Structure 1
């Protein structure tokens, strides 16, 4: 493109340009799309390098002692930068240091254009999980010899820039033209680059590539339609031997596993006999292949789709990206697979087109998200938001542009032929295997099977989550944020919301709606907003007053609403306010409906865009009525066999409240509406049994009357050689000491264990409060280890896990979601510490209600409910350690109840045959040193 770019990276003593200094500089000059010059040097900062920076960069005080000061290299950098773009991976950081160091050296500030490769990567690679330099290098297969060294980082950033510039060059003309007004508003000065590329494409008049589909001023990735396959299919047993032989001969590292073949046969038998099956398959069994092969062959033979349901997106992606392509090589027929998710996962092109044409002032995240979506359209097959890494503000835009049953024009929509949701449904109707999630499975159930293709057989992986997900879908919930977001989306007549647009449309087409009518709606909206905010504030105050724990508690606290609570005077005031809010919501819906009626009367005069607005507006009215019904159901009515509770962020906004009502048990609902309607349901997980039987899961899922087949497949790993379970006998029980003392003991123990294992440790907690306290104390004890804490450091579970893997000496602190689904194979994880046995808090509303019901029926709430739940969670936590045949590691359980109580035996028996050692911590550490 003929531009000159200087890519710069600085390593520094800290993050503040005013007080910190540069310790290394790396620079790469690019001209005519080629690297033509490199410059790098240590820099003497004339102050000590902090230990953390030394560990991160590998640069010591000795390295920079005889290096030039910045004044000495400033002329070389200034010469390089003359007439160039300044490029960096996170420009605000490097440019701020450059300007400060130049000023200190007596130079004027750099005033040329700049490009931030973080921002450019976010726009042009919208699907990447992380925009950290080393992860982008890994994705693009760029060699990154020394991360956090300026010369290596500058080199990688330069190669990344070349890739991104080339990516701009390959984008279709229509995409570039749609992007041009957006890139003008970005922080990087790339408008000229895009304009030049547009001019070049217009001059060349090149035909767009064959894989691009141009429609209504958008460029899409061209889709290949599925082919029907009518070939006859033999049974799984007829195919099994040839499949296993092909696996052994074609896959270098494949081992025929006895357990995997056992599971294949069990799945095939259950499907053939029209029976339900429960399979607990230990880690390393290869259960995905074990259920996919027989179930898909069976479905193909019967001419019905096989539905596979998972709980996590990661497992869905693994099935689609790894397992299905392998099956296509193994099976004697072409396999059509489709992924189907909830409708709001998919982009609505009609809404996006409308948003793209808006010229109202937009924030940075909205602009970046629109640019991401335009690039993504050329690459996506599915239009699924899970493929995107949206900025936080972009998630708000997604709420406006996602597909929605209430605002769908269906066949009247100009984008119907290219609708991502309807395309996904069509693919699912044609597919041999439909991969979905537990949420959609239940959404389909409560919507009378309108979403998934008709199916009689289903495999449910991660089945230990089924009861929890089912409870969510058979229940009702709302919260202040969804309430406020709805009113925000409506907006008054002066805003840019749906009501304002509808009001302007009424004026344009001279409808019967008067200015007085508009004023009445504005007033109604204002009343609902004020009263609604008051209601949620009162609920927050109510939870805060009633909650017995410290007001400094972190995260949400919950309060179950029972007959005793309902006698409270404040609760009576809450109900009065609720009655007013529900009445006002009904009035608001009626007033909004008058506008809708007036617009419908002039329907024949509306353009396509205006008709789309009308459908969105009608959907919004339905949502107002839905919000009315939810508040009425949750607060103004009592429901037998349901538990109702509030959750509040005690330290959060004063109206941050969530309201829930869920059935205490869902066993009967599942039995009647799900299991009785299916020929065969295969439920599998690594954790289904308690005390070596399936009784708990059978009872809680309503499977007792169906007498399901049960099968336990042990893990093929050699736990007796690969792992040890260590229980320090000198660690205090939490009930015997003050919390501060327990935190101190936990922190000291973790620190001592980490010294032996060199970090590489995952510490699992049962509460955020304890996690934060222990994290803080360990941080005070040592700077030797990198500490990463869930809820302390920002980011998702996947992001925190990736950060953990980057460092040799790291400790990862996790709770809730970290007990399962975290996969850290190899030497990255050598030690797992379980601080407390994972019992749920006895006052959690669902658990308390279940316990009461059990006790009333003569059961034992602890033995029949709390203990089985904790054992299943404990097994999940233990499973984080050994993920492959070659992994070795130790599990420390700091909770002596595992050996000092009668029920502790159930936790120990739930584990594979792992050697158990108990004794004072110093003895266990001596043993561990020798073993590791």
Structure 2
């Protein structure tokens, strides 16, 4: 029986409704009225609603249906992706998409009739979704049969992890150079092309796995290897050999999720057997990336309402089939949370540090704990720079701290360390600490619990611990509370911290350049503070000190409880107390850092730090206020906390020295802070850039002229036939250009997507871009470094201008210390090299890099690979060259896809 619902599709070229075998074009107003009156089948409701100008659009979203029927499976959320998973023909044009959606819905709903691996739990989940009035609920209720016996559902189905004895320390071994080359040959395969650069790279990488000569003297290898060398297998060869021989883990750290996924794929060459690979290779991320089962249980039992409750049910379906529980970059479709706008996805992870560890009823099934234990036994742990630094600085897993690291995308270590070791005394940070200590206050909802509730058994056993908890709760009342931002803006702060923030706000507005501009954040140096700010600092410091002391005392009391070992302290309780000690220690360190920062108000400046005041705003709306401190050189704490305790580390990148010299590269990764000098290695890319690419600097497009910029982007994308990555340094200009050219390109069959415009996560935007050779993508810095699209789908990169660094207080201080304008030039060269690196990803790629900046200094053009032709040309000539070089390539693509 056919579905009794019409289908709606809206693109930049028009709007169509399909009903009863008929498809007709409709106006925006008619589509909105029809969608308000009748449930519609559609795909990606937020995106269609944005195109209609109807933000409240809802209906029977095929993406939600797919997430229910095929949890933990990937699909590109486009008509092409839907055609792939349903086996239907791709619609010929936009007008054919609406009836195609009807056919796709029937195809998906036929899933329960066949061999359906995800059948278990579906009927139970469908009943819950039906009660929540999910649009697909009535349809599924008619098509799902009640199982003959009760289903094992989520919390009973998930496997438990097992405790294991601590892993012995790695043995001291040396890797034979011949074995490294033999392992590399095995990994690349017999049919692979011989690459001398890769063999030399593997030999250099092996030095990081040699026994170290002395304490705090790690073997540090800096290896720059151009695109195409084969870095991943080059370092996996010695890493896998060392791990096997030494019996210890190698942590491979990346900066982007894309490289993490690529590494997971490449490790299949090392461990072809899937069961073995799951034991030997583990991907680790921060706690905030994983589904918290306790939060999910709370959501399923009424903690969420409305659309957020529907999301919780779909996430529960996914949780029963996920490989690792990773909600960010794992097998949860990145597009799923965006379908629910702001409703609930972040509340399903542990973003507030409220984990009760062994006190949680789902502790033995926890995805986070399972990953931590799996990584302790793994040979290769795929992590990210932030997690490596967090674990080294405040990790609970001291006995399993790795001794060997590989830092891929090593040019990002400076930025990762800058973020990790910074201090921010802001309203948002203090209110989060208050909530963690005090727990639920008037009007709050959810399962949040304060210190007293989390440690009630400790408080009843230990009188000193109980007093410390009470003192901490009392002192936390002096932190910012709900409504603080409005009170501060109205000049009526409550308490010493809010009073401090009010004076920070006043001084920032008084001194910051462009304070009258309704744009983005404001900041000013923490120098020559006003008498009012100095006066407010003393009571704020007293309030923080009164909080710091009981936190430290509580940590010591908990350690004493562990030593006493009372009868109630079984294994689970011990683990919970140990977790509490780590969490309290982290908060105490944070408060100590705040005290140090407040001492700077009216006190002497430190040569090691850069301090400033800031009011954070988005489009004129304030969302945070505070004092900030960053290390002038954040690689100093990175070297102390991460590198010095290690035995060896490989830092590698295709652009390690981009923009500077080896001395600059060493300074950016902390090498000067080590007693033993780093080993340097460099291998040029094997690609023929001179024949495969060219750089065009357009001389007649005025910077900041949105109409001219839009015209240039539109004509260049048309000349390339799509396949364009457009990079911007300002979101405002990105949005302005997109608004002017999206419709025009869509009519030519060239879909255009954009960060900060389309209600789709960045990872999914890249997936769509990769999947369609006629699509183009506009974005900012995240796309300059995080896009790996080899082949025909990316053949033109266009930058709106020279990516000069933003003139912040922090940048000004580092610029002064780093050589003035030469420091700026190094940053720009590195950014341009990274952007160019998106273009040629394989030996067969061909492309053009266009820079829309007549004022580009010639001294910066050495950022591009040697031999690449560089020409300064007017826009018309640039368009002709793009068309000439890429038109033959465009002919290799498919016929124009629907401009969705």
- Range of TM-score over shorter length: 0.7 to 0.9
Call closer, same or farther: CA 1:172–1:542 in 2, change over 3 Å: farther
Matched, 1:437 2:405: no
Matched, 1:326 2:269: yes
Residue of structure 2 equivalent to 1:463: 410
Question: For the residues of structure 1 that align with 2:361 and 2:636, how far apart are their CA atoms?
Answer: 44
Residue of structure 2 equivalent to 1:41: 22
Structure 1 window deviating more from structure 2 (663-672 vs 130-139): it is 130-139
Matched, 1:921 2:870: no
- 8 Å contact from structure 1 (residues 406, 616) kept in 2: no
Map residues 199-278 of structure 1 onto 2, 5 A cutoff: 199-202=146-149, 218-220=156-158, 235=176, 237-238=178-179, 240-241=181-182, 244=185, 247-249=188-190, 254-272=192-210, 274=212, 275-278=219-222
Matched, 1:562 2:504: no
Q: Deviations over 1:796-841 (max 9, x none)?
A: 3223334545766655332221211212333333322222222212
Question: For the residues of structure 2 that align with 1:619 and 1:488, how far apart are their CA atoms?
Answer: 18
Call closer, same or farther: CA 1:913–1:500 in 2, change over 3 Å: closer
Matched, 1:665 2:633: yes
Map residues 484-883 of structure 1 onto 2, 5 A cutoff: 484=431, 490-492=439-441, 495-496=444-445, 524=477, 528-529=481-482, 534=488, 535=498, 536=501, 539-540=504-505, 542-549=507-514, 551-552=516-517, 554=519, 556-564=520-528, 566=529, 568=530, 571-572=533-534, 575=537, 578=540, 582=544, 629=592, 631-637=594-600, 640=606, 641-645=608-612, 646-649=614-617, 651-657=619-625, 659-690=627-658, 693-704=661-672, 705-731=675-701, 739=704, 742-776=705-739, 786-804=751-769, 811-841=776-806, 843-854=807-818, 860-863=819-822, 865-883=823-841
- 8 Å contact from structure 1 (residues 263, 290) kept in 2: yes
Q: Larger relative contact order (C-alpha < 8 A, sep ≥ 6)?
A: 2
Secondary structure of the residue aligned to 2:387 is helix
Question: For the residues of structure 2 that align with 1:395 and 1:11, how far apart are their CA atoms?
Answer: 24
Question: For the residues of structure 2 that align with 1:243 and 1:318, how far apart are their CA atoms?
Answer: 18
Q: Deviations over 1:752-800 (max 9, x none)?
A: 4344323432222223344344445556998756543332333332233
Question: For the residues of structure 1 that align with 2:142 and 2:455, how far apart are their CA atoms?
Answer: 39
Q: Tell me by how many angstroms 1:472 deviates.
A: 2.0
Secondary structure of the residue aligned to 1:654 is strand
Map residues 413-424 of structure 1 onto 2, 5 A cutoff: 414-424=361-371
Q: Tell me by how many angstroms 1:575 deviates.
A: 3.6
Call closer, same or farther: CA 1:396–1:537 in 2, change over 3 Å: farther
Matched, 1:185 2:132: yes
Matched, 1:140 2:82: no
Secondary structure of the residue aligned to 1:826 is coil
Matched, 1:9 2:7: yes
Matched, 1:384 2:320: no
Question: For the residues of structure 1 that align with 2:399 and 2:600, how far apart are their CA atoms?
Answer: 33
Matched, 1:152 2:100: yes
Q: Deviations over 1:892-918 (max 9, x none)?
A: 2233444xx4xx335325424211222
Residue of structure 2 equivalent to 1:402: 350
Q: Deviations over 1:410-457 (max 9, x none)?
A: 3x6554432322322221121111111111111122126736833322
Q: Tell me by how many angstroms 1:338 deviates.
A: 1.6
Q: Tell me by how many angstroms 1:408 deviates.
A: 2.9
Secondary structure of the residue aligned to 2:400 is coil
Question: For the residues of structure 1 that align with 2:395 and 2:454, how far apart are their CA atoms?
Answer: 37
- 8 Å contact from structure 2 (residues 689, 867) kept in 1: yes
Question: For the residues of structure 2 that align with 1:404 and 1:765, how far apart are their CA atoms?
Answer: 33
- 8 Å contact from structure 2 (residues 224, 656) kept in 1: yes
Residue of structure 2 equivalent to 1:297: 241
Residue of structure 1 equivalent to 2:862: 908
Q: Tell me by how many angstroms 1:522 deviates.
A: 13
- Equivalent of residue 161 in structure 1, options 105, 109, 113: 109
Q: Matched residue pairs, number?
A: 821
Call closer, same or farther: CA 1:6–1:444 in 2, change over 3 Å: same
Greater radius of gyration (CA): 1
Call closer, same or farther: CA 1:260–1:792 in 2, change over 3 Å: same
- Equivalent of residue 366 in structure 1, options 308, 321, 336: 308
* Structure 2: tracts of 5 or more residues without a match: 50-57, 213-218, 489-497, 559-565, 887-900
Question: For the residues of structure 2 that align with 1:183 and 1:618, how far apart are their CA atoms?
Answer: 44
Query: Over aligned residues, Cα RMSD in angstroms?
Result: 5.4
Call closer, same or farther: CA 1:709–1:719 in 2, change over 3 Å: same
Residue of structure 2 equivalent to 1:76: none
Question: For the residues of structure 2 that align with 1:187 and 1:817, how far apart are their CA atoms?
Answer: 35
Structure 1 window deviating more from structure 2 (662-671 vs 570-579): it is 570-579
Q: Deviations over 1:361-404 (max 9, x none)?
A: x3234312431332223212322232334536777565465398
Question: For the residues of structure 1 that align with 2:3 and 2:28, how far apart are their CA atoms?
Answer: 33
Secondary structure of the residue aligned to 1:402 is coil
Q: Deviations over 1:710-747 (max 9, x none)?
A: 22222222212211111234455x5xxxx5xx444433
Q: Tell me by how many angstroms 1:305 deviates.
A: 1.5
* Structure 1: tracts of 5 or more residues without a match: 28-39, 54-70, 72-80, 96-112, 597-602, 855-859
Structure 1 window deviating more from structure 2 (657-666 vs 308-317): it is 657-666
Question: For the residues of structure 1 that align with 2:618 and 2:354, how far apart are their CA atoms?
Answer: 35
TM-score, length of structure 2 as denominator length: 0.76
Structure 1 window deviating more from structure 2 (288-297 vs 703-712): it is 703-712
Residue of structure 2 equivalent to 1:34: none
TM-score, length of structure 1 as denominator length: 0.74
Residue of structure 1 equivalent to 2:66: 121
Q: Tell me by how many angstroms 1:698 deviates.
A: 0.7
Call closer, same or farther: CA 1:144–1:845 in 2, change over 3 Å: farther
Secondary structure of the residue aligned to 1:828 is coil
Question: For the residues of structure 1 that align with 2:714 and 2:393, how far apart are their CA atoms?
Answer: 50
Question: For the residues of structure 1 that align with 2:185 and 2:455, how far apart are their CA atoms?
Answer: 68
Question: For the residues of structure 1 that align with 2:268 and 2:863, how far apart are their CA atoms?
Answer: 38
Question: For the residues of structure 2 that align with 1:919 and 1:44, how far apart are their CA atoms?
Answer: 43
Question: For the residues of structure 1 that align with 2:588 and 2:619, how far apart are their CA atoms?
Answer: 31
- 8 Å contact from structure 1 (residues 309, 458) kept in 2: yes
Q: Tell me by how many angstroms 1:143 deviates.
A: 3.4
- 8 Å contact from structure 1 (residues 115, 190) kept in 2: no
Residue of structure 1 equivalent to 2:284: 340
Q: Tell me by how many angstroms 1:695 deviates.
A: 1.6
Call closer, same or farther: CA 1:385–1:714 in 2, change over 3 Å: same
- 8 Å contact from structure 1 (residues 480, 655) kept in 2: no
Call closer, same or farther: CA 1:696–1:164 in 2, change over 3 Å: farther
- 8 Å contact from structure 1 (residues 365, 394) kept in 2: no
Secondary structure of the residue aligned to 1:890 is strand
Q: Tell me by how many angstroms 1:683 deviates.
A: 0.7
Residue of structure 2 equivalent to 1:103: none
